[in-house]
C-alpha cells in the first residue's frame, strides 16, 4: 500500500473546477449547477465549469466516452492552476476509465477530488494506487445546489460553507462537527459533512 498522499490545503482565490467525471448534466439542472457554483464561490474560490458539464454532451448515462472522461480528468490533474476538482454529480461510469488516469500527475501535484456516489470508486482506486486522500463530500449540482437548499435554511448553509471551507483550507482537523439528527433540516447533509471530514 502506498504512503498516504495528502493534497495541500486550498487558499482563498484558488481555482476549483466543476467537472463531470461520471454522469452528465441533465436538461433543466442548470439552475442547480449555478447554485452549486455560487456555494463554492462563497467558500472563497474561483470556480470554472468544465465543458464536460453540458446537457448537450452525453453518451447514454455518461458525460462522454471513457477516453473523453479520462482525458478531461487528466488535463485537470496536470494543470498547475487547478487546485481542486469537484464532481457535479455521481453516476456509474468511473470504472470504465480507471486504467487511463495519469497517476504520475497525481503523485506530482496531489489535489482534492471532491464527490460521492460513483466518485467514491474513484477515491478508493486512486488511494490504492497512489495513496491520494479523497474527499467523500457533496457534489456540486445535487449537493451544494440542491440538498443544501431543500434540507436546510440560510443559517444551515452558512454553517456548512464554514465547515467545508475549514476542511478544504486548514491543515488541522475541523474539530467537533455540528450535530443534526435525521428528520431535522439538514440531517442528511449533516451526515455527509461528518463523512467528508473523517472518512
CA distance 141 to 138: 9
Neighbours of 176 (CB within 10 A): 6
Q: Are the CB atoms for 177 and 163 separated by under 8 Å?
A: yes
Half-sphere exposure of 197 (CA within 13 A, CB side): 22
* Cell digits of residue 186: 439538514
Residues sharing a CB contact under 8 Å with residue 163, sequence separation 6 or more, in sequence order: 174, 177, 178, 193, 197
Phi then psi dihedrals of residue 124, to 5 deg = -65, -40
* The model's pTM: 0.87
Q: Is 181 helix (H, G, I), strand (E, B) or coil?
A: coil
Q: Which fold has domain 15-198?
A: Rossmann fold (3.40.50)
Give the start-to-end residue ranges of the domains of the chain.
15-198
pLDDT in single tens digits along all 199 residues of the chain: 789 999 999 999 999 999 999 999 999 999 999 999 999 999 999 999 999 998 877 777 788 899 999 999 999 999 999 999 999 999 989 999 999 999 999 999 999 999 999 999 999 999 999 999 999 999 999 999 999 999 889 999 999 999 999 999 998 877 776 676 544 444 444 334 333 333 3
Amino acid at each position: 500500500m502506498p504512503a498516504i498522499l495528502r493534497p495541500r490545503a486550498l487558499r482563498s482565490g484558488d481555482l476549483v473546477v466543476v467537472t463531470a467525471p461520471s454522469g452528465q448534466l441533465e436538461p433543466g439542472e442548470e439552475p442547480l449547477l449555478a447554485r452549486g457554483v455560487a456555494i463554492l464561490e462563497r467558500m472563497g474560490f474561483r470556480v470554472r465549469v468544465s465543458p464536460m458539464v453540458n446537457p448537450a454532451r452525453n453518451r447514454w448515462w455518461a458525460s462522454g466516452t471513457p477516453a473523453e472522461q479520462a482525458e478531461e480528468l487528466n488535463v485537470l490533474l496536470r494543470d498547475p492552476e487547478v487546485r481542486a476538482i469537484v464532481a457535479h454529480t455521481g453516476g456509474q461510469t468511473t470504472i470504465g476509465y480507471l486504467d487511463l488516469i495519469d497517476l504520475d500527475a497525481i503523485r506530482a501535484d496531489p489535489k482534492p477530488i471532491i464527490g460521492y456516489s460513483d466518485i467514491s470508486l474513484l477515491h478508493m482506486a486512486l488511494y490504492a494506487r497512489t495513496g491520494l486522500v479523497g474527499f467523500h463530500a457533496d457534489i456540486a449540482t445535487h449537493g451544494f445546489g440542491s440538498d443544501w437548499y431543500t434540507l436546510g435554511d440560510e443559517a444551515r448553509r452558512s454553517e456548512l460553507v464554514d465547515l467545508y471551507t475549514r476542511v478544504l483550507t486548514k491543515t488541522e482537523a475541523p474539530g467537533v462537527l455540528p450535530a443534526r439528527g435525521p428528520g431535522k433540516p439538514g440531517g442528511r447533509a449533516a451526515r455527509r459533512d461528518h463523512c467528508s471530514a473523517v472518512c
